[in-house]
């Protein structure tokens, strides 16, 4: 087998050195009756060429060659060849968590840069070395708010990504957290009138997403004021991180839970991505996840170590701030490299392109009779439209033209049937946007 570096005679030599006759003897502590007698029922073994064939065949069964207008938490953005090449360097790809700092300064330095970039982008003071993804980062942010306030009530906007809310519900169920959902107004923003002072007074966190699931920007400074007035924290989820190239950062939030996939990480059917938690310096000891910090050696050389580990499970066990151990380091590195490449001007230009393309697409679609904007609030690269016929039918027809249509809201929001969230990023050429609009028009013009 090509991955195993021993010859049969070397195996025999090693067995002889140990003083055993057969390898079977090395397994004698496993009770006889539990030892497998027959080979496992598994496909393979496959050569490298056969493995590639298998996966190429699977790729051909997917949406290769389709154009997509799906966002809903995962975004198609430009990626650079350089970033992908760098994360494939074995020294990054095949190294472990940097517990042995002297032999892992590469990873530690990159984490420190990641933490810095995440602070700059979110307007927060500290950011950790990564969480699994945006959904689990949001849940951990809420648990953190509970620890900080000692309160168990949580107000969550219904305009937060439905799957993020589902993850929060799963975790909250056994921890005695009460989750109360808050509706939205005609603008598509959180209904501030529904935030009652008597409820806020026992609330750990008000949880919003911006841009929210409908694509609308939330008024974070005003929400922070309301929350803080009653001793509650403002937790803000960000699923479309590229928005922060032009959108005001969530600096007033107490904890930001962000999905970093938009920073040069491929959609990859749901993961791996990179979650981020950023917060105020004074809250750092209640933060989950790893942190890299700057220090020096005896000679005064600058170096980086994992620090404040007394928050973590390998030291604190059941008293830890979280059970997280493995995080998404390689994709934090990918995001770091991507952001260094695209840089200050590039990130802004990319965000402006998203805004312009989305506005163009929206205008094209709104020309179609019966197609209307749903909400009045400001949007970035996603917007919600109402259609005169079922979105499911429209999407089924679009698929025949190799177009993956928008996210239909009806399943998650029964009151929003015939509405969908359309996402247009810088990767959609004008011609494809026009083809999409023409196709929608044609589908809607067909007799019922």
Partner 1 sequence: MNPKITDLETPIKNVGKARAHVSQNEGLIFEQSAPGKRGMELPPLDVPAVDPAKALGSEFTRAAIEGFPEVSEIEVIRHFTRLSTWNYAIDLGMYPLGSCTMKYNPRVNEFVARLDGLACEHPEQPAEVSQGCLRILHDLQKCLLSITGMDAATLQPAAGAQGELTGLLMIRAYLESQGNPRHKVLIPDSAHGTNPASVVIAGYEVQNIKSNSRGQIDTDHLREFVTDDVAALMLTNPSTLGVFEERIAEIAAILHERGALLYMDGANMNALAGVTRPGDFGVDVMHLNLHKTFSTPHGGGGPGAGPVLTKKILEPFLPVPVIVQKPDGTYALDHNRAKSVGRVRAFAGNFGVLLRALAYTLAYGSGIRQATEDAVLNANYIRKNLEPYFDLPYNLPSMHEVVFSDARQKAKGVNTMDIAKRLIDYGFHPYTTAFPLIVPGAMMIEPTESESKQECDLFIDAMRSIAAEADATPDLVKTAPHSTRVGRLDEVAAARKPILRWKPA
Q: What dihedral angle (degrees, nearest 10) is formed by the CA atoms of 68, 78, 434, 394? A: 10
- Closest distance of CB 440 from partner 1, Å: 17
In the three-class reduction of DSSP (H, G, I as helix; E, B as strand; rest coil), residue 117 is classed as: helix
* Contact status: 382 vs partner 1 (CB under 8 A): no
Q: Shortest distance, CB of residue 232 to partner 1, whole angstroms?
A: 22
- Does residue 349 contact residue 357 with C-beta atoms inside 8 Å? no
Q: Which of residues 70-109 bind partner 1 (CB under 8 A)?
A: 70, 72-74, 76, 78, 80, 82, 84, 86-98, 100-107, 109
Provide the 10 A C-beta neighbour count for residue 58: 9
Q: Contacts with partner 1 in 47-66 (CB under 8 A)?
A: 48, 50-52, 54-64, 66
- Determine which residue in the list 360, 389, 393, 410 makes contact with partner 1, applying CB under 8 A: 360
How many whole angstroms separate alpha carbon 270 and alpha carbon 279? 26
Please report, as residue ranges, which positions from 134 to 153 form the binding site for partner 1 (by CB under 8 A): 134-136
274, 241 in Cβ contact below 8 A?
A: no
Question: d(Cα 176, Cα 167) in Å, to the nearest integer?
Answer: 15
Per rule CB under 8 A, count of chain residues that contact partner 1: 198
Q: Does 201 bind partner 1 (CB under 8 A)?
A: no
Residue 198 in the binding site for partner 1 (CB under 8 A): no
Of the residues 157, 204, 277, 337, which one makes contact with partner 1 according to CB under 8 A: 337
* 315 touching partner 1, by CB under 8 A: yes
Give residues 270-309 in contact with partner 1 (rule: CB under 8 A).
270-272, 284, 290-299, 301-305, 307-309
CB nearer to partner 1: pick between 120 and 286: 120
C-alpha dihedral (194, 199, 202, 205), degrees to nearest 10: -10
Q: Report the residue from 267, 373, 410, 441 that binds partner 1 according to the rule CB under 8 A.
A: 267
The rounded distance, in Å, linking the Cα atoms of 377 and 287 is 32
Chain residues 412-431 in contact with partner 1, contact rule CB under 8 A = 426, 429-430
Q: Does 28 bind partner 1 (CB under 8 A)?
A: yes
Spell out the residues 6+ positions from residue 68 whose beta carbon is closer than 8 angstroms to its own. Answer: 76, 403, 404
**Binding to partner 1 in span 7-26, by CB under 8 A:** 10-11, 13-15, 17-20, 23, 26
Reduced to 3 states (helix: H, G, I; strand: E, B; else coil), residue 326 is: coil
Is there a contact between 128 and 115 (Cβ–Cβ < 8 Å)? yes
CB of 257 to partner 1, least distance (A): 12
In eight-state DSSP terms, residue 27 is: G
Distance CA 334, CA 115 (A): 13
* Minimum CB–partner distance for residue 201 and partner 1 (Å): 26
Stretch of residues binding partner 1 (CB under 8 A), selected from 2-10, 146-154, 183-191, 194-202: 2-10
Verify binding: residue 186, partner 1, rule CB under 8 A. Answer: no
Q: Which is nearer to partner 1, 186 or 399 (CB)?
A: 399
3-class DSSP state for residue 198? Answer: helix
Q: d(Cα 294, Cα 307) in Å, to the nearest integer? A: 9
């Amino acid at each position: 087998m090509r991955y195993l570096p021993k010859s049969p005679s070397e195996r025999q030599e090693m067995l002889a050195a140990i003083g055993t006759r057969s390898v079977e003897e090395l397994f004698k502590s496993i009770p006889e009756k539990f030892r497998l007698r027959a080979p496992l029922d598994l496909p393979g073994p496959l050569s490298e060429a056969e493995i590639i064939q298998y996966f190429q065949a699977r790729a051909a069964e997917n949406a290769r060659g389709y154009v997509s207008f799906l966002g809903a938490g995962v975004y198609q953005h430009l990626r650079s060849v350089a970033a992908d090449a760098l994360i494939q360097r074995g020294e990054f790809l095949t190294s472990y968590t940097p517990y042995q700092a002297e032999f892992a300064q590469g990873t530690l330095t990159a984490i420190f840069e990641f933490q810095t970039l995440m602070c700059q982008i979110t307007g927060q003071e500290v950011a950790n070395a990564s969480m699994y993804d945006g959904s689990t980062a949001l849940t951990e942010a809420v648990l953190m708010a509970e620890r900080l306030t000692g309160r168990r009530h949580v107000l969550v906007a219904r305009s937060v990504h439905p799957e993020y809310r589902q993850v929060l519900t799963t975790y909250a169920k056994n921890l005695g957290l009460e989750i109360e959902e808050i509706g939205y107004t005609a603008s598509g923003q959180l209904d501030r009138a529904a935030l009652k002072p008597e409820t806020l007074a026992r609330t750990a966190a008000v949880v919003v997403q911006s841009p929210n699931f409908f694509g609308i920007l939330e008024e974070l400074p005003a929400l922070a004021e309301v929350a803080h007035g009653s001793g509650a924290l403002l937790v803000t989820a960000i699923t479309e991180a590229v928005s922060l190239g032009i959108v005001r950062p969530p600096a007033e939030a107490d904890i930001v839970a962000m999905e970093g996939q938009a920073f040069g990480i491929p959609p990859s059917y749901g993961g791996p991505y990179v979650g981020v938690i950023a917060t105020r310096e004074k809250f750092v000891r209640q933060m989950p996840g790893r942190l890299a910090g700057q220090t020096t050696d005896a000679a005064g050389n600058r170096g980086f170590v994992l620090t404040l580990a007394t928050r973590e499970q390998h030291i604190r066990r059941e008293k830890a701030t979280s059970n997280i151990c493995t995080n998404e380091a390689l994709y934090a590195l990918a995001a770091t490299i991507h952001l260094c490449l695209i840089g200050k001007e590039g990130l802004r230009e990319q965000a402006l392109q998203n805004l312009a393309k989305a506005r163009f697409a929206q205008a094209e679609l709104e020309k179609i009779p019966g197609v209307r904007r749903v909400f009045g609030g400001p949007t970035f690269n996603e917007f919600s439209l109402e259609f005169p016929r079922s979105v499911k039918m429209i999407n089924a027809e679009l698929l025949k033209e190799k177009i993956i249509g928008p996210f239909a809201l009806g399943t998650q929001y029964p009151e929003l049937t015939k509405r969908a969230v359309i996402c247009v990023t810088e990767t959609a050429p004008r011609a494809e946007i026009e083809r999409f609009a023409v196709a929608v028009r044609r589908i809607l013009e067909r007799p019922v």
